Structure 1
C-alpha cells in the first residue's frame, strides 16, 4: 500500500481536533438520553413516538453515511467534517426552539443526516495520516473521545436541564458551531489532490446505495461490515434495556444508573485511549477482535448473576471493557482492507452500525417483557456467533493466502 505524503507526520493537533469534534457530537447524542422522554411529553407524544424519534436518527445515518463517506474520497475530509458539525448544530437549535412535534422529527432527521458526515470522514482522516502500524492507536483515540462523549453527555444533559429542558440542546448547538468554526481555520486537509482526482476518475458512474452495499458485502471488508452490525446490535441491546433491568431487579433510579454508566464508561474510555493501539501492535487485529468478542459475550452472561451494586458495577465494566477494545480494533481492521476507498468504506461501516442501533433496542424491548435476562442472553449469543464466524473467516483468509 502506498503512503501519501502526510502519513509519516505525527497526528498531534489534527487528531486532537478530530477527537474533540466526535466528542461534541457524542455529547449532543448522549445528552438527549435523560431528557427526551420529558421533552416530548410537552408535545403530547407517547412512548411509540419517542421510539420513532430515536429510530429516525439511526435510519438517516444508515442512508447517508456511505454517501458522505464516498464524497469525502472525492472532495476531501475537512469539508465533510465541517459541514457535518454545522448541520448537527442546526438540528440542535431546531430541537431547542421547537414549537410542534414535526419540528422534533425534522431536528432528528437533520441530526442523523449531518452527524453521519463526521464519523466516517474522521475515521478516513486517521487512515490518511497514519501508517498501518499506527492506525490502531489513532482509532483508539477517536474511540476514546466518542466513549467519553457518550458517558458525560447524559450527565451534562441532566445538569443543564435544571435551567430548562431546551437548554441542553442549545448548549450542544453552540458547542458544535464553535467546533465547526475552529475546524475551518485550524484543521488541515489530509487527502492529497492526486488522491481526490484518482477517486473521482474511478467513481464517475454513480451507483445506487444498495448496489454499493451489495458490492461492499462481496468485497474483502464484507464480513467485517456484518461484524459491525452484530457488535452494534448487541451493544444497543444493553444500552436500551439497562435502565429498565436495574430498576426491576434492584430498584435503581437515574442516579445509580448514571453513576454506573459514568464509571464503566471511564474504564472503557481509558482502555480505548491507552491500550487498543498497543494491543493491536502487539497481537494483531485478528486476535484482538476475537478476544474482545469473547470478553463481551462473557460480560453479557455474568451481568445476569450480579446481586449488589458492586457486582453490577464489576460485571458491567467487564462488558464495557470488551466493547471498548472491539470497536476501535474492528475499525482499524476495516481501514487496512479498505485501500483507497477509506471514506466510502467507513461510511458503509457507519451505516451497518446504524442498522444495529435500530434493530437492537426494538428486539430488547420486546423480549424484556417475557424474561428480563433474555436480552442479555441474546446479546451473548450474538457475540458468540460473531466470534465463531470470525474464527472461520480468519481461517479461510489464511488458507487463501497460503494458496496464493
Structure 2
C-alpha cells in the first residue's frame, strides 16, 4: 500500500466497524420507536418501515454518485467526516420524534449522512489495498463489520431493557439508547479526520468536472461486463444486509407480541439471531477473502450468491423464529451475506479504472441503494402479509445475480476462445 502508513491502514478497520454499527443500529431500534414511542399499529409497521426505508434509499440513490464525485474532487476525509456528523445529529433527534412525519424528516438527514459515509468507505477499499491482497483486505473489513453488528445487536439493542430495569420509562430508555449512537458517530468522525489518508491510488483529489466524472463512470459500466455484474451484485448484496437489518428485529418483536410476549422478549430473540448471522460473517469473511484472492473474481461471485440464495430462501421458509431450527439457517445466511459483499467489492475494486475510481465506486454504491430500495419497499409490503416475505424476496434476487454471473463467465470465456 504505497503512501499509506501502517496506522492509516489499521485505523481503517475500526472505522469500518463503527460505520457499520451506526448504519445498523438505527434500523435495529426503529421497531422500538414505532411501538413504544409512537404507538404505530403492528399491522402496518411493515409498510411504514418499507416506506421510510424506500424514501431514505431514494435519497441515497440520488446522492451517492455525487458523493463519489465529490470524494474525487474534495478528498475522502471531508466527505466521510461530514457524513458521520450528519448521522450523529439524526441519532440525537430520532428518539425525540412525537409524530410519524418527524421520523421521515430525520431519516432524510440520516440518508444524506449515510450516502456520504458509505460511499467513501467503499472508495477506501479501492484506494488502500494492492490487487494481490484486495480480497483479504475486504475479508478483514468484513470481519470488523461483522464484529460491529454483533456488538450492536448483542449489547446495544438490550440497552432499553437495562435502562428500564434502572427505573427509566420506555420512552426515556429508547432515547438514551439512541443517544449512544450519537456518541459512536462522533467517535468515528474523529478517527476519520485524524487517522485516515486519501489513499494510495489517488492521493490528490481529481480536478475533472463532475459532468465528465459521471460520464466516464457510465462508460466504464458499458464497456466492461464485469463492472455491470459488480453493479448488479452490489444491489443484491446490499439488499441482503438491508433485509436482515430492517426486518429481523421487526419480525421477532411482532412475532413475540402476536404470541403474548413482550417487545423486550422479541428484541432478546433478535439479539440472539442477529449475532449468529453477524458472527458467521465475522468468522467466514477472512476465509472467503483468502479464497477469492486465489480464484477468478467471477467464480467468487458465483460461490457467494449460491450460498446466499440458499440461506435467504431457507430463512423465508421459517415458521417459528423462536425455534432452534433457525440457528443453522442463520449460519448459512451469514456465510452467504459476507461472501456476497466481499465478492462484489473485490470485483469492482479490480475492474474500476484508477482515474475515475471514486465515481465508479459511487455508482457501485448507488446500485447498492437501488437494491435496498427494492428490499425496503417491496419487502415492507410483503412483510405485512408474511413476516418472512422480505427474505424470500432476497432469495430470488440472489438467484438472479447467480444466473448473471454464470452468463458473464460463459460470455467472457467464449469471447476469449474466439480471439
**TM-score of the superposed pair, with normalisation by structure 2:** 0.81
Asked if 1:346 is matched to 2:361, the reply is yes
Q: Residues of 2 paired with 1:128 and 1:141: CA distance?
A: 15
Q: Residues of 1 paired with 2:202 and 2:349: CA distance?
A: 20
Aligned length: 392
1:163-182 aligned within 5 A = 163=163, 164-182=173-191
Counterpart secondary structure, 1:229: helix
Asked if 1:18 is matched to 2:12, the reply is yes
Q: Residues of 2 paired with 1:237 and 1:193: CA distance?
A: 34
Q: Residues of 1 paired with 2:51 and 2:385: CA distance?
A: 22
Q: Residues of 1 paired with 2:386 and 2:393: CA distance?
A: 11
Counterparts in 2 of 1:34 and 1:389: CA distance versus 1, 3 Å: closer
Q: CA deviation at 1:70?
A: 1.4
Q: Residues of 1 paired with 2:391 and 2:50: CA distance?
A: 20
Q: Which residue of 2 aligns with 1:317?
A: 331
Q: CA deviation at 1:95?
A: 2.3
Q: Which residue of 2 aligns with 1:58?
A: 57
Equivalent of residue 256 in structure 1, options 260, 269, 276? 269
Counterparts in 2 of 1:241 and 1:99: CA distance versus 1, 3 Å: closer
Q: Which residue of 1 aligns with 2:311?
A: 299
Q: CA deviation at 1:87?
A: 2.1
Q: CA deviation at 1:297?
A: 1.5
Q: Residues of 2 paired with 1:225 and 1:50: CA distance?
A: 25
Q: CA deviation at 1:278?
A: 0.7
Q: Which residue of 2 aligns with 1:397?
A: 412
Q: CA deviation at 1:237?
A: 4.6
Q: Residues of 2 paired with 1:282 and 1:102: CA distance?
A: 50
Where structure 1 has 5 or more consecutive residues not aligned to the other structure, the ranges are none
Q: Residues of 1 paired with 2:376 and 2:342: CA distance?
A: 22
CA contact (8 A) 1:32 1:157 kept: no
Counterpart secondary structure, 1:190: coil
Where structure 2 has 5 or more consecutive residues not aligned to the other structure, the ranges are 164-172, 260-264
Asked if 1:32 is matched to 2:26, the reply is yes
Q: Which residue of 2 aligns with 1:326?
A: 340
Q: Residues of 2 paired with 1:100 and 1:369: CA distance?
A: 21
Q: Residues of 2 paired with 1:104 and 1:278: CA distance?
A: 42
Counterparts in 2 of 1:181 and 1:206: CA distance versus 1, 3 Å: same
CA contact (8 A) 1:232 1:356 kept: yes
Instruction: Report the aligned-residue RMSD.
Output: 3.2
Asked if 1:383 is matched to 2:392, the reply is no
Asked if 1:153 is matched to 2:152, the reply is yes
Equivalent of residue 362 in structure 1, options 354, 366, 377? 377
Counterparts in 2 of 1:316 and 1:37: CA distance versus 1, 3 Å: closer
Q: CA deviation at 1:336?
A: 1.0
Counterparts in 2 of 1:124 and 1:367: CA distance versus 1, 3 Å: closer
Q: Residues of 2 paired with 1:183 and 1:236: CA distance?
A: 24
CA contact (8 A) 1:229 1:355 kept: yes
Deviations 1:17-67 (A, max 9, x none): 222223223222322344323324534656354443333332222121211
Asked if 1:110 is matched to 2:109, the reply is yes
Deviations 1:361-393 (A, max 9, x none): 332343456666665544333322211211111
Q: CA deviation at 1:207?
A: 6.3
Counterpart secondary structure, 2:211: coil
Q: CA deviation at 1:135?
A: 1.0
Q: CA deviation at 1:271?
A: 1.4
CA contact (8 A) 2:49 2:380 kept: no
